[in-house]
């Protein structure tokens, strides 16, 4: 039978039979292999799988169907390995905040680096707008312009006050959306506001740090309306990229890539020390954001440092 993976704990998978609307608890067939050698998990939420029913509500996954796309992160343990968070997505929604916790633009740029390689349309929702003062609202307008200019949609929402929820609901409708963001940003609260029936657990902010405590431990897919799926994910602390090379980063900052044909070294320009770089020129002229460039440099420096230590270990 063909099924849709709704939840994965690493050893068990909840697989939905979409025709009968039944859930099966599945294990992996012993002989199943990883599709690609750099993956740490053979099956992810959103995968379509072939499975055989063992008894009433249990089954065995035999085959994972090829993925249309996926969002992955570097594996926390194995270097250069990646862990698939979710597959077969129509779009991703990054939930972020300006207050509680404070805005981190670098994090937004890092997240976009996980969806851009697979061309997954990404929305950015800045939540908790009920907490904003005038200055915060101005900050929002700035962030909105920055990302609108490079083609991302930015929404102003409040899960508690219900602001922007109707709009968000219509953007999710009929699609499969991965919801992601730092813990405490309000992912679960927003999903509860959009679909009151979903009943996700939310967390109290731990008073001092303003950071959320972990309530969502595994990515989980919910069918909120027919044909509408949302995937709630555990909060992310930091996003590292030991699976990428500098060139991958350069090519996935979309406004940089767009300008690279005008760089003297074209698509192999890393926009750092090369002469006649169109990206650096655009930053000076103000048509590319210096903040995005800072995020870019910080990611590149991290990758350089990792490569340095790895080379050192080898000799």
Ligand X SMILES: Nc1nc2c(ncn2[C@@H]2O[C@H](COP(=O)(O)OP(=O)(O)O)[C@@H](O)[C@H]2O)c(=O)[nH]1
**Alpha-carbon distance 293 to 272, whole Å?**
10
When computed from its CA atoms, the radius of gyration of the chain, rounded to whole angstroms, is 21
Stretch binding ligand X (CB under 6 A), from 18-26, 182-190, 251-259, 296-304: 182-190
Q: Which stretch binds Mg ion (CB under 5 A): 22-30, 100-108, 139-147, 215-223?
A: 215-223
Q: Which does 39 bind (CB under 5 to 8 A by kind): Zn ion, Mg ion, ligand X, none?
A: none
Applying CB under 6 A, which part among 58-66, 124-132, 218-226, 240-248 lies near ligand X?
124-132
| Near ligand X by CB under 6 A: residue from 81, 122, 176, 183 | 183
Interface with ligand X (CB under 6 A), residue from 45, 152, 184, 220: 184
Q: Does 262 bind ligand X (CB under 6 A)?
A: no
Question: Greatest CA span in the chain, whole angstroms?
Answer: 66
Q: At its nearest, how many Å lie between Mg ion and the CB of residue 250?
A: 33
* Cβ 15 vs Cβ 61: under 8 Å: yes
Find the DSSP H helices in 150-216: 165-172, 187-194
Say which entry of Mg ion, ligand X, Zn ion, none residue 279 contacts (CB below 5 to 8 A, set by partner kind): Zn ion
The reply on whether position 180 binds Mg ion by CB under 5 A is no
The full DSSP string for 217-236 is -S-EEEEEETTEEEEE-PPB
By CB under 5 A, which span of 153-161, 209-217, 223-231, 272-280 interacts with Mg ion?
A: 209-217
**Residue 205 CA neighbour count, 13 Å, CB half:** 14
The SS3 call for residue 189 is helix
Tell me which DSSP letter residue 243 carries: T
Q: Does 127 bind ligand X (CB under 6 A)?
A: yes
CB atoms within 10 A of CB 58: 14
Dist. CA 129–CA 237, nearest whole Å: 22
Task: Count the helices and strands in the chain (H runs, E runs).
Answer: 8, 15
Based on the shown chain and the rule CB under 5 A, indicate whether residue 233 belongs to the binding site for Mg ion: no
Query: Sign of the CA dihedral 298, 97, 217, 152?
Result: negative
Span from 142-150, 168-176, 211-219, 289-297 in contact with ligand X (CB under 6 A): 211-219
Check: CB of residue 204 under 8 Å from CB of residue 213: yes
**Span 30-49, contacts to ligand X by CB under 6 A:** none
Which one among 271, 282, 289, 295 touches Zn ion, defined by CB under 5 A?
A: 271
- As given in the structure block, the two tokens for residue 125 are 């929702």
Pick the stretch among 20-28, 177-185, 217-225, 266-274 that binds ligand X (CB under 6 A): 177-185
> Which residue lies nearer to Zn ion by CB, 49 or 269?
269
Among 40, 75, 118, 203, interactor with ligand X by CB under 6 A: 203
Residue 236, interface with ligand X (CB under 6 A)? no
Mention every residue, 6+ apart, whose C-beta is less than 8 A from residue 241: 74, 110, 113, 249, 299, 302, 303
Query: Does 187 help bind ligand X (rule: CB under 6 A)?
Result: yes
User: Cα(315)–Cα(310) distance, rounded to whole angstroms?
Assistant: 9
Q: In this chain, which of 153, 202, 228, 262 binds ligand X, going by CB under 6 A?
A: 202
Is the Cβ of residue 30 or residue 207 nearer to ligand X in the bound state?
207
Task: Write out the residues near Zn ion by the rule CB under 5 A.
Answer: 263, 269, 271, 277, 279
Please report, as ranges, the residues that interact with ligand X according to CB under 6 A: 127-128, 130-131, 158-160, 181, 183-189, 202-205, 212, 215-216, 235
């Amino acid at each position: 039978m063909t099924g849709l993976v709704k939840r994965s704990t690493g050893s068990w998978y909840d697989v939905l039979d979409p025709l009968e609307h039944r859930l099966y608890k599945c294990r992996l067939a012993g002989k199943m292999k990883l599709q690609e050698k750099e993956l740490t998990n053979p099956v992810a939420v959103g995968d379509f799988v072939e499975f055989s029913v063992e008894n009433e509500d249990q089954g065995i996954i035999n085959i994972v169907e090829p993925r249309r796309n996926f969002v992955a992160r570097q594996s926390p343990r194995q270097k250069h390995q990646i862990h698939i968070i979710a597959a077969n997505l129509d779009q991703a929604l990054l939930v972020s905040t300006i207050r509680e916790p404070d805005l981190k633009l670098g994090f937004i740029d890092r997240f976009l680096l996980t969806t851009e390689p697979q061309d997954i349309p990404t929305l950015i929702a800045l939540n908790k707008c009920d907490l904003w003062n005038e200055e915060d609202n101005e900050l929002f307008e700035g962030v909105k312009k920055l990302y609108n200019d490079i083609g991302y949609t930015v929404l102003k929402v409040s899960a508690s006050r219900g602001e922007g929820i109707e709009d968000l609901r219509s953007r999710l409708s009929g699609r499969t959306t991965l919801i992601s963001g730092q813990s405490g940003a309000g992912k679960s609260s927003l999903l509860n506001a959009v679909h009151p029936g979903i009943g996700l657990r939310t967390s109290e902010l731990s008073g001092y740090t303003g950071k959320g405590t972990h309530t969502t431990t595994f990515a989980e897919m919910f069918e909120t309306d027919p044909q509408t799926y949302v995937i709630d994910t555990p909060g992310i602390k930091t996003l590292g990229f030991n699976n990428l090379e500098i060139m991958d980063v350069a090519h996935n900052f979309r406004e940089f890539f767009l300008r690279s044909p005008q760089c003297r070294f074209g698509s192999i320009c890393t926009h750092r020390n090369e002469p006649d770089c169109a990206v650096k020129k655009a930053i000076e002229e103000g048509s590319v954001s210096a903040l995005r460039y800072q995020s870019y440099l910080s990611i590149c420096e991290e990758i350089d440092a990792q490569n340095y230590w790895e080379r050192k270990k080898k000799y």
